[in-house]
Amino acid sequence: MGCIYRRKDSKKYWIKYYRNGKAYHESSGSEIKAVAEQFLKRREGEIAQGKIPSIVYDQITLDELAEDLLTDYRINLKRSIDKAVRSVKKVLSEFGGMKATQITTASVKRYIEKRMQSGAANATINRELAALKRMYKLGLMCTPAKVSQIPYIPMLKEDNVRTSFFEHEQFQEVLKYLPEYLRPIAFFGYCSGWRKQEILSLTWDQVDLDQGVARLSPKRSKNGEGRTLYLEPDLWQMMKNLHRRRAFGCPHVFHVDGERIKDFRKAWDTACTKAGVSGMLFHDLRRTAVRNMVRAGIPERVAMSVSGHKTRSIFDRYNIVSPDDLKKAALMRQEYRSKQGAQLRFSYGWPCQAKGATTLRVVTP
């Protein structure tokens, strides 16, 4: 049974109740005894229904939920933990120290507005909001739960889908300005469509030079699925050359003086600028490879297996159509009609029922 009492330093009534043998003290926020009695009944009713008293949730801070999120990333060995850390840091710069129950949809909208005014892209803000939403979801999944509900967190519309790809001549220009140790990496990406980190993590025990095959293990693949790449002659020969010049004691195919390459963004940006394609990303090689495979007549399902695309919708985003493709389509339509022997001639001026109107008549020879 609970009770109502007053503290010596306060005129407001406090309530005391028990759950699982533990005593809870909570202010009713009122100087009226009847209000405190109703408050106590509400808390005891929650306990009788097996619910956790709201005071328990009020003790949970967002910092605690954030740490649970990062722990989840660490124990599940998620490779995107660095991005998660950045997102969490931004969220805590606004909400750090606050109780989880204090964060509302209105406060989230103010955060969004503040981030937009600072110049942050919608995609960046969405990653931060996704981290915030995940914090609450994990808190709700805990036993016992750390939050009673997930506040509505609106997401922004993103318009950051890239449509960039390299024409063959552009790629050749970039190769000219890349450091020698980066050219094989770029060529591998241009041929295979593999992601940058998948290429950089490739080791010699994953390469069978006798059969001309490179295999990506599931743990190094972004989608968690293994992949087999049969090397075309040019790529096969390049891999043989790299193997002859491999560094003793270094397991990685691509390296600098025996040290694994972690990032090369600055060198890549410099080469692209000198080649006249400033702003192009290494990831654009992935789009280029997909586009080249489709135009080479490789079945789309096979191309998806090579590049590692798991869903058709994402694959279609990478299969970019260029103006040259559209021009080629026009010539192909003309060629198809020519093979049918139907050279169309058009005659204008045939009157319609409406006064002054004309119609189009198609005349075949």
- pLDDT class for 350, splitting at 50, 70, 90? very low
Which residues in the chain are classed under CATH 1.10.443.10?
A: 168-318
Confidence (pLDDT) at 203? 94
Eight-class DSSP state of 358 = E
Instruction: Please compute the mean of the pLDDT values over residues 321-336 and round it to a whole number.
Output: 56
Confidence (pLDDT) at 363? 45
- What kind of fold does domain 63-141 have according to CATH? DNA polymerase; domain 1 (1.10.150)
- pLDDT class for 228, splitting at 50, 70, 90? confident
Measured CA distances, 142 to 47, 51, 132, 134, 135 (Å): 18, 14, 16, 12, 11
First CA to last CA across the chain, in angstroms? 100
Judge if pTM exceeds 0.85.
Answer: no
* Residue 276, number of CB atoms within 10 A of its CB: 10
Which residues in the chain are classed under CATH 1.10.150?
A: 63-141
Closest-CA residue to 24 (of 48, 3, 50, 45) = 3
Looking at the DSSP assignment, which residues form a beta bridge with residue 260? 255
Confidence (pLDDT) at 200? 93
Q: CB of 54 within 8 A of CB of 15?
A: no
* Residue 299, number of CB atoms within 10 A of its CB: 10
Burial of 128 (0-12, 13-18, 19+ CB in 10 A): buried
335-359 b/e with 16+ CB inside 10 Å = b? eeeeeeeeeeeeeeeeeeeeeeeee
Average pLDDT, the chain: 80
- Whether the pLDDT of residue 312 is over 90: the answer is no
168-318: CATH number: 1.10.443.10
Does the bond joining 144 to the residue before it have cis omega, within 30 degrees of 0?
A: yes
**What would the pLDDT profile of 230-280 be if each residue is shown by its tens digit?**
888 899 999 999 999 998 899 999 999 999 998 899 999 999 999 999 989
Q: How far apart are CA 10 and CA 25, in angstroms?
A: 14
